[in-house]
Amino acid sequence: MSALQLQFAQLKQAYSQSPYPDYQQRRQQLTALRQAISQHSDALCTAASQDFGYRSSDETRLLEIMPSLSGIDYHKKQLKSWLKPEKRHVHYSFMPASNRVMVQPLGVVGIIVPWNYPVYLALGPLMAAIAAGNKAMLKLSEYTPATNKVLTAICQQALAADVIVIEGDAEIAAEFSRLPFDHLLFTGSTAVGRKVMQAAAANLTPVTLELGGKSPVVIAPDADIKQIAKRILFGKTANAGQTCVAPDYVLVPADKLELLISELCQAFIAFYPDFATNPDYSAIINEAQYQRLMTMLEHAHSSGARVINCDVNSDAASVNSERRLALQLIVGADDNSNLMEQEIFGPLLPLIPYHTLEEALHYIQQRPRPLALYLMSNDSDTQQQVLKQTHVGGVCINDTLVHVAQDDLPFGGIGPSGLGNYHGKEGFLRFSHQKAIHKKGWFNSGRFIYPPFNRKVFKAILSWLTR
């Protein structure tokens, strides 16, 4: 038995000794987790910056720590109502009886965490798993070793008996995926998600896959470009675009293309003045990711696309030892390039002009279903048209990114962008089994339908029930 298998077996044994933690115990666990996060918040910010090469502490607090604390508060507030058994209807032919649904923990769940938001994408699923009464194993990314140390300390302080933290490379991740978890949640790329699902299938382990995809922005003809430019920019430049729900391309009315370029560039300068030394902009996580983005950018140049560097004082193609890359707007990108076929995961933003909204929607419909869609429009008919004619994981109207931080909205993809969802009540239910319970009393109405079936009373009842 490997060390990983042994750790899993120990956690499974611990769960079997306490298979249904009560409300007070779960609430206490969530409180302890919140306190530990707060106590280690400075360390988390320092560690995240160290792992990325540089990341603003304010950005880590805003995008990772704040939603983690808010999510725990929401779970604590709603937990008692979520735990209440739900009464269900009983057909009159089975009376007297009662029906109810009881939510029960699954057992030991596995959570595979990516590198781009190593704090929130560990703690978000973890709080849901704990609220649902489970034990958990976390597999953290090998690309965030400093953050992993702090997260391990948090879990040991708050949930030492309930959570085991694992680190390691792809080989460890593969072994982790093969463990017979009661549920496995993976956040990462679609390509790796397929492998995780295949590994889990050997144990019939149910999976939740939070993947990516090319999330579009649709600027409707009625949208005010000056008003929405900063909203698009925030979603694209947060964490330097290294976000699974970052806008991946923008569909813009052809007659508003130049205005959009101007407004995005002006907004970028306003957001990040003196870009080379600006303290608010994140670095690209590592050299491999940086070179991947530069290759995309170089291909755009060589294929004749128009590339606009929003940092007017620098050359985006030059070598950058700090891996800082300003927003690059790209018009006329090759539809068959990696830029347009793969999730970008960085500050490159293709702009695609269109002539009719139907043309824009057709463009989205012809591509794999994305994780998010951002619609910029104040027209209710346009909003309904887009909502009804697109299949996406989630929609944000007149903003970007922030739908993920809504405590009471489910989050997840559809098709190649994901399988299943969590956050809020959906997260609690994702890590629970909804047990159906049918209860009879001393009087048994079922005796009238027992064999032998040649009795007159049976024939009469069957005729009445199937009338």
| pLDDT per position as a tens digit, 175-185 | 999 999 999 99
Q: Spell out the residues 6+ positions from residue 296 whose beta carbon is closer than 8 angstroms to its own.
A: 337, 338, 339, 344, 348
Q: Chain-wide mean pLDDT for the chain?
A: 95
- State pLDDT tens for residues 289-316: 999 999 999 999 999 999 999 997 777 6
Higher pLDDT, 456 or 318: 456
Where is average pLDDT lowest: 264-273, 315-324, 411-420?
A: 315-324
Q: Would you state the pLDDT for residue 445?
A: 83
424 backbone dihedrals φ, ψ, rounded to 5°: 60, -145
Helix axis angle for 380-389 and 357-365, nearest 10°, is 20
Q: Contact 293/323 with Cβ under 8 angstroms?
A: no
Q: Contact 110/181 with Cβ under 8 angstroms?
A: yes
Q: Would you state the pLDDT for residue 461?
A: 84
- State pLDDT tens for residues 108-142: 999 999 999 999 999 999 999 999 999 999 999 99
- Give the end-to-end CA distance of the chain in Å, rounded to a whole number: 60
pTM across the whole model:
0.94
Q: Spell out the residues 6+ positions from residue 332 whose beta carbon is closer than 8 angstroms to its own.
A: 304, 305, 306
327 backbone dihedrals φ, ψ, rounded to 5°: -60, 130
Q: Would you state the pLDDT for residue 467?
A: 86
CA distance 100 to 392: 33
Active-site annotation, residues: 210, 244
Q: Would you state the pLDDT for residue 1?
A: 78
Confidence of residue 243 (pLDDT cuts 50, 70, 90): very high
Q: In the predicted model, is pLDDT for residue 319 greater than 70?
A: no
CA distance 363 to 399: 21
CA distance 101 to 27: 21
Q: In the predicted model, is pLDDT for residue 317 greater than 70?
A: no
* Sheet of strand 432-440, all strands in order from the earlier edge strand to the far edge: 86-88, 97-105, 432-440
Cβ neighbours around 194 below 10 Å, total: 13
Cβ neighbours around 25 below 10 Å, total: 14
- State pLDDT tens for residues 192-241: 999 999 999 999 999 999 998 899 999 999 999 999 999 999 999 999 99
Question: Measured between alpha carbons, how far is residue 221 from residues 56, 259, 331 in Å?
Answer: 36, 13, 19
